[in-house]
Amino acid sequence: MPKLSFSRIGTWIRSKIFLYNVTYGLYMLDWWERYLFNTIMILLLCVLCYNGSRFTVESVKRLIWYMRAETGEDNFMTMPMGHHRSPSD
């Protein structure tokens, strides 16, 4: 395995940043416009990851609840989030 030097790694990172700037047209923006664009993109990515993880957890919980309902088990912990048992149940 070839030994990686910091200069090769730095060159590779700079080439990827350049490719990103050229692909999305950021090379023609000022430095503050690039930072603003990148900040907005990072915030959108964080919101997407957060909501995606919440959706995945809720979907798995609901799937487990449906699968256990077929077996006749009645357990409060397996109920979907947001559904509370009323006193008449």
Q: What is the pLDDT of residues 26-76, one digit of tens each?
A: 999 999 999 999 999 999 999 999 999 999 999 999 998 888 877 665 555
Q: What CA–CA distance (Å, rounded) separates 68 from 71? A: 5
Q: Is the pTM of this model over 0.85?
A: no
Residue 46 counted as domain residue:
yes
Residue 84 counted as domain residue:
no
Residue 1 counted as domain residue:
no
CA-to-CA separations, 77 to 40, 66, 73, 81, in angstroms, rounded = 38, 13, 11, 9
Q: How many domains does the chain have?
A: 1
Residue 83 counted as domain residue:
no
> Sorting pLDDT into bands at 50, 70 and 90, what band is 15?
very high
Residue 86 counted as domain residue:
no
> Sorting pLDDT into bands at 50, 70 and 90, what band is 13?
very high
Domain that holds residue 65: 10-78
